[in-house]
Amino acid sequence: MLRYLLPNEHVKSIFDIHPEALKEKRIKGIITDLDNTLVAWDVADATPEVIEWFRWMKEHDIKVTIISNNKWERVKIFSEPLDTPFVFSARKPLRQAFKQAAKEMNLNKDEIVVIGDQVLTDVLGGNFAGFYTILVVPIVQTDGRVTRFNRKIERRILSYMRKKGKITWEE
């Protein structure tokens, strides 16, 4: 079970994920979380840096789909200006939203990476669904109520995995 909680990679932010490196891994698509992965959970719109990152991926023919457990309006307001497909109320870590995003991108599992800031939703869901996963450091240290609870559990899991030598990064 613990193997499903381990990301394939850990980076500080999405800006450390470069299209050239993805292409070397034969990645053609990204399924990304929204809140605290792309922008702070309480920020409605993409920052200029995020807009540029999406443009950079598009220039390299890497498709991006946003999946979020958040409501339709929140995800739509963020995604539409970026001209990016999205899945809302995804119920991560359940597999269905990940599979839906892959199908809409018309890509195979081995051509897609899942990016997110939470072990219990993004990494677990991406791994359950069979994708390569990248964990990013949350943009801000504040969260909504449900996420705060998840973070407490995640800290214990990550601490345990660190002690067992399964992970080497520090938060």
Q: How far apart are CA 108 and CA 102, in angstroms?
A: 7
Summarize pLDDT for 85-116 with one digit per residue, the tens.
999 999 999 999 999 999 999 999 999 999 99
Summarize pLDDT for 13-49 with one digit per residue, the tens.
999 999 999 999 999 999 999 999 999 888 889 999 9
Q: How far apart are CA 23 and CA 20, in angstroms?
A: 5
Q: Which of these ranges, 82-91, 92-101, 114-123, 157-166, has the smallest mean pLDDT? A: 157-166
For the cut 60, the answer to whether the pLDDT of residue 160 exceeds it is yes
- Tokens 């345990």, residue? 160
Closest CA to 53 of 18, 28, 80: 18
The pLDDT score that the predictor gives to residue 158 is 76
For residues 51-59, give the mean pLDDT. Answer: 97
Share of the chain above pLDDT 70, in %: 94
What domains can be seen in the chain, in order of their start residue? 2-142 (3.40.50.1000)
For the cut 90, the answer to whether the pLDDT of residue 76 exceeds it is yes
